[in-house]
Amino acid sequence: MQSFALTLDKFIDHAAKWHGARTVATASRGAIQQRTGYAELRARSNRLSGALLALGLRPGDRVGTLAWNSQHHLELYYATMNAGLVCHTLNPRLTPAHLAAMINEAADRVLAIAGSLLPMLPELLPLCEAIERVIVLDENSPIDSACGIPVDGLDALVEAEGCAVAWGRFDEASPAGLCFTSGTTGKPKGVVFSHRSNYLHTLMSIQPDAYCLSAKDTILVAIPMFHANAWGFPFSAPAVGASLVLPGRELDGASLAALIRDEQVTIAGGVQTVWIGLLDHLDVTGEDLPSLERVIIGGSKCPDALIRRMEERLGVRVQTTWGMTEMSPLGTADSPQFPPAAERSSGRPPIGVDLKLTDAAGVTLPEQRGVVGHLKVKGPAIIDRYFGATEDALDAEGYFDTGDLATIDAEGSLTIRGRSKDLIKSGGEWINPAEMEAIIGRDPRVGQVAVIGKPHPKWGERPVLVVELRHGEADDAQAFVEALRGRVADWWLPDEVVRLPSMPLAATGKIDKVRLRAAYAEGELDRHVVSVR
């Protein structure tokens, strides 16, 4: 058989040759600002590779990106990775100090930044040790130097230094991307994606029982491209020839509705908080989005009430998934080929992902179905070791510990039962917040819900229920406690109910329980307490 390295240039080459007219559209505030075909995007990315190499970058060097979902960001994906460089995506919503720590750990030599984020540079750049050059993604001409570091506009750089280069002349095991975990449960850690892992992840994700993508689709990517490769859509869409809609920075309901309607979007991907805003907007305007067929959700468990609301209001199939940055990120998906189950799970793993349940000591459970265990995973697109680590993160059988508690049913579908780090130990016994969150999440009045532990002088910890109600819903804290009574042990019932106008969220849209616990400890939530049991 022919030698065929699994490198990411193959995807954009394929799209340019066979789906060259299919488009990548970039928006701002719901209006398209830029549109290109895959053939043109491939040519621009290739010339940008030449420009980056002309700056003195060499294979393995890291290029940091501080950017939103846009054509220029996608061009940088392919320009860096296909030239053997490493695309280090950074979260623009982090503080300069946190960003600098990641930039320094990665030893990024170049920083590519969206024009709207330029005000960050005076505070950020003095903290960065290795940055030699800044590239502004959406500016057409060079800009004055920042903190003594040369700054170029992307288009001007390509015009001055861009030239065609050969892509993919390196080993498929070479690093392609670097992303730090969201840090919602602990210190962020770097995850390195290889060309081979991203290639295989793409083949897994496009399967009919996973994302089920094809050339007829137009995909709205409402997942940040700075987090876990936007669930792999920048690779899977060109791999099948699907059109892409990149919404930019704005993910409000009005902007998303306009894009879905005007671009005839068939599939949309994003975390649950994005779709709450869309639904609220549609409820006010009364408009429909008839082109939309499926919404793929992930990031955290979605309340059943929200899933029902989405399917009824949008007339779509909501497809639940589970994964994590360390898995590239797809782990399991609810198949769109079958009717949805009454109780939604996260679906089954595609080929290339294996699951096992263990006890707290890491011993594999003798029975793997119908029991709660600690979830471990194995596969070619799953982390071996974290960036900079000297030892791998696997057990003796080569499985990675996800930190999740889970069950697997008789059909092999996975249901996440909570994070082991989120468990609350009260009086020497464990309380699982996820079980209570699932119950309260079924209430149609509830937008988002979280259960956290508070210190207690006698019991060690006690649970606190935190809710964000849908707009216009009245407080009824005691009703939430009563909804739990009889469905969980009495000693699990929360001591306090806190109503927040909005939950603290990580950039990925997950509820940030680290910030929530810190805010509670510092007394910032005291004024929001609506019930004390």
Residue from 26, 80, 181, 218 carrying the catalytic annotation: 181
Specify burial of residue 319 (Cβ count, 10 A radius: 0-12, 13-18, 19+). buried
Residue from 343, 425, 482, 524 carrying the catalytic annotation: 425
| 458 among known catalytic residues | no
| 473 among known catalytic residues | no
Return the residue matching tokens 């007829």. 216
Residue partners of 147: CB distance under 8 A and separation at least 6: 121, 122, 125, 126
Q: Sort strands 110-113 and 133-136 into parallel, antiparallel or unpaired.
A: parallel
| 425 among known catalytic residues | yes
| 491 among known catalytic residues | no
Residue from 430, 482, 491, 524 carrying the catalytic annotation: 430
Residue from 326, 437, 468, 496 carrying the catalytic annotation: 326
CA distance 295 to 303: 15
Residue 485 bridge partners (DSSP)? 488
Tokens at 81, concatenated: 């990775």
Backbone Cα Rg of the chain = 23
Which three-class secondary structure string do you get for 112-174?
A: EECHHHHHHHHHHHHHCCCCCEEEECCCCCCEEEECCEEEEEHHHHHHHHCCCCCCCCCCCCC
50, amino acid identity:
G
CA distance 231 to 249: 17
- Helix residue spans in 154-230 (DSSP H): 154-161, 195-205
Element (H, E) at 47: helix 38-54
Active site residues: 181, 326, 425, 430
